[in-house]
Structure 1
Amino acid sequence: MTTLITLEIRRALRNKKFMFFSVLYPPVLYLVIAGGADRRPIPGTELDMGLYYMVAMAAFGAMTAVLLGNSERIAKERESGWVRQLRLTALPGRGYVTAKIAAAATVSLPSIVLVLIVGATVKGVRLEAWQWAAIAAGTWLGSFVFAALGVAIGYLATGDAVRPISMLVYFVLSFAGGLWMPLTFLPDWVQNIAEWIPTHAYAALGTAVEAGGAPHLKDVGILAGYLLLFAGCAAWLYRKDTRKA
């Protein structure tokens, strides 16, 4: 399984388009969105625009890497016969799914780190050392949830359908979870729904640390629940795909 993880990481790093959208695009988007309103306070929170969008774009970049990268790659591998070849090896099904999730989450690290560096050097964000470390760790660990979702979509959709399906899921989760704008700017009914969406809980890990506290147990529990759900769906779809092969 370690060999497969290493192979997946190398393949992702060689994909220039993937590296641009997952690593370079989020910090550029952070600079554009935050703009000159860095110190404008966000109603209902203890954060300003610069702080909020630093965490939001770090989460957005990590989700881009793990969700889109996993889903499209797996769908193409199924059609090319690569997954069928792997089944002939000693690698168990759970090993394949675990390798995909771990490799995708590892590749998300550059995006997270780069957004935090831009926040500190360009946008003038100032935090304690423990806060920087906690935001990076929380954002990385939280990305496993969306890596598992990417695996599930990759087994659910065909090669032709995987891109529109994954993009739809990607944009809906990003908007409804508050990655593009603070939820306090949206109607109450949207905020009530967003509280149970994984992207909201994901970004909330970092914003809680920025405010000087620890991530809320509710957000951690929501992410853990979605991780079990998505990983379970991915494993079930893998076994179903095996029976078809």
Structure 2
Amino acid sequence: MKTLVKLEIARTVRNRRFMFFSVLYPSILFLVIAGGTPNDKVIDGTHITFAAYYMVAMSAFGAMTSVLMGNAERIAQERQKGWVRQLRLTALPGSGYVTAKIASAATVSLPSIVIVMLIGALAKGIRLDAWQWVAIAFATWAGSLVFAALGVAIGYLATVDVARPISMICYFVIAGLGGLWIPVTGWPHWTQEVLGYLPGKPYAGLGQAMVLGDAPHAKDIAVLAVYLMIFAGTAAWMYRKDTRRA
């Protein structure tokens, strides 16, 4: 499995277009959105500054771009070309295949998180304690595993022709309803309660809680853990199902 992880990381790094959109694009968006706002401006309904809010949001957005968009289309292409069938003929179990895909995608997502946070500190003067910087980066990275698993599941459920549209729909819906582009704090209370059970808002909530010096909410962690099990379980089941057919 370690060999497969190294291979996946090397293949992703060589894709310059993908690396640009997943690593640099979120940083550019952060500067465009937050660059012209006062550093002390606070988001309505929160105690988080505009700059800190979008630093966390764009870090999450970049990580999600890396793991969701990359995994889904790539796996669909591998299935079409027969690469996955070759892997099924080896001793690699379904859980090992899914774990390797998730691990390789999550490894690539880390630079996008770090770059956005560096720009937030240097360009927007965001000041946090050392533990907060480390905790936000780790929580955003760990939370992205959920969307890496979703990408694997989509790649196994969809053909090459529809893998990209499906992943893009999921991507935009999750980001939009999660408040990564526009804060949802001004939305009706019942709407926010519903969104709390979708993966986007709890994912953004991990970093937002630590910006305020708090621990992530247990509900957010639990919701993301459930989605991770569902997505990873679906992907592993599809892998084993194809194995029985082979």
**TM-score, with normalisation over the residues of structure 2?**
0.96
Ranges in structure 2 where 5+ consecutive residues have no aligned partner: none
CA RMSD of aligned residues (A): 1.1
CA distance in 2, matches of 1:93, 1:110: 28
1:121 is displaced (CA, Å) by 0.6
Q: Do the aligned residues in 2 keep the contact of 1:155 with 1:241 (CA within 8 Å)?
A: no
Equivalent residues in 2 for 1:54-73, closer than 5 Å: 54-73=55-74
Q: How many residues align?
A: 245
The code of the aligned residue for 1:10 comes to A
**What is the CA–CA distance in structure 1 between the aligned matches of 2:186 and 2:242, rounded to whole Å?**
43
The residue number in structure 1 matching 2:2 is 2
Q: Deviations over 1:72-97 (max 9, x none)?
A: 11000000000011112222221111
C-alpha distance in structure 2 between counterparts of 1:46 and 1:228, whole Å = 33
Q: Secondary structure at the match of 1:108?
A: helix
8 A contact 2:45–2:186 mirrored in 1: no
Per-residue deviation at 1:150?
Answer: 0.5
Paired amino acid for 1:84? R
Matches of 1:241 and 1:66, distance apart in 2: 23
Tell me how far 1:68 sits from its aligned partner: 0.6
Equivalent residue, structure 2, for 1:13: 13
**Displacement after TM superposition at 1:187 (Å):** 3.9
Q: What's 1:220 paired with?
A: 221
Identity of aligned residues (%): 65
C-alpha displacement at 1:243, in angstroms? 3.5
1:36 partnered with 2:51:
no
**Partner residue of 1:96?**
97
Deviation of 1:244 (Å): 4.0
> What does 1:1-245 correspond to in 2, within 5 Å?
1-37=1-37, 38-245=39-246
Asked if structure 2 preserves the Cα contact closer than 8 Å seen for 1:178 and 1:200, the reply is yes
When normalised by structure 1's length, the TM-score is 0.97
Moved more, 201-210 or 231-240: 231-240
- Distance in 2 (CA, whole Å) between partners of 1:237 and 1:21 is 29
Alpha-carbon separation, structure 2, partners of 1:242 and 1:72: 20
Q: Give the 3-state SS of the residue equivalent to 1:90 in structure 2.
A: coil
Any gaps of 5 or more consecutive residues in structure 1? none
In 1: Cα distance, 2:119 partner to 2:186 partner: 25
